[in-house]
Amino acid sequence: MTQPYDVEFASQQYQAWLAALKETASLVTHNQSQAMMRAVMYRLRRCLAPDDVLAIANALPALPRGIFLEGWSLDEERFVPASPESFTAAVADDLKAHHVPPATITADVFAVWATHLESRKAALVAAHLPDVLKPLWPDAAA
């Protein structure tokens, strides 16, 4: 039985995101890019109020949205990073059992999102990021 087009397209689209992250972050495998994408997503949602979690999720395509929301609950323990570096250090700590992400992993994931989302949706994600993480969004330096 063949895959419905929507499922096939969503999978191909997400594979393109993982390939872009692999290239941007100079990773070796898609397993690394998937683990690192997921780690940034999970840590990011812990920094956000529920309305912001849902706004960002709604801006993501179906497959990344599902990954972003997987296992999330309204009473999830909050994480308030003191700086972009402390956020990325927390992501690295989440991954340390299996992967060592580059110091730029959060900015690399955000660069993939900014490039691969429609501009309106990318702006929505950027607007809902915690202030401390906004400097990591690609257009923030401009």
Domain that holds residue 109: 28-70+78-141
Query: Does 23 fall in a domain?
Result: no
Coil, strand, or helix at residue 77? coil
Query: Does 58 fall in a domain?
Result: yes
Q: At what angle do helices 62-69 and 50-59 cross, to 10 degrees?
A: 160
- The DSSP annotation for 96-107 comes to TTT----TTHHH
Query: Does 6 fall in a domain?
Result: no
> What pLDDT, on a 0 to 100 scale, did the predictor assign at position 142?
47
Query: Does 126 fall in a domain?
Result: yes
| Both structure tokens of 31 | 């397993």
Query: Does 37 fall in a domain?
Result: yes
> What pLDDT, on a 0 to 100 scale, did the predictor assign at position 47?
96
> What pLDDT, on a 0 to 100 scale, did the predictor assign at position 51?
96
Query: Does 7 fall in a domain?
Result: no
> What pLDDT, on a 0 to 100 scale, did the predictor assign at position 8?
79
Q: At what angle do helices 62-69 and 30-46 cross, to 10 degrees?
A: 60
Query: Does 92 fall in a domain?
Result: yes
Q: What is the 3-state secondary structure (H, E, C) of 34-76?
A: HHHHHHHHHHHHHCCCHHHHHHHHHHCCHHHHHHHHCCCCCCC
Query: Does 65 fall in a domain?
Result: yes
DSSP-based helix, strand, coil % in the chain, nearest 5: 70, 0, 30
Domain count, the chain: 1
Whether residue 125 contacts residue 67, with contact meaning beta carbons closer than 8 Å, is answered with no
CATH number of the domain within which 121 lies: 1.10.490.110
**What is the full per-residue pLDDT of the chain (142 aa) written as tens digits?**
566 767 778 889 999 999 999 999 999 999 999 999 999 999 999 999 999 999 999 999 999 999 999 999 999 999 999 999 999 999 999 999 888 889 999 999 999 999 999 999 999 999 999 999 999 999 754 4
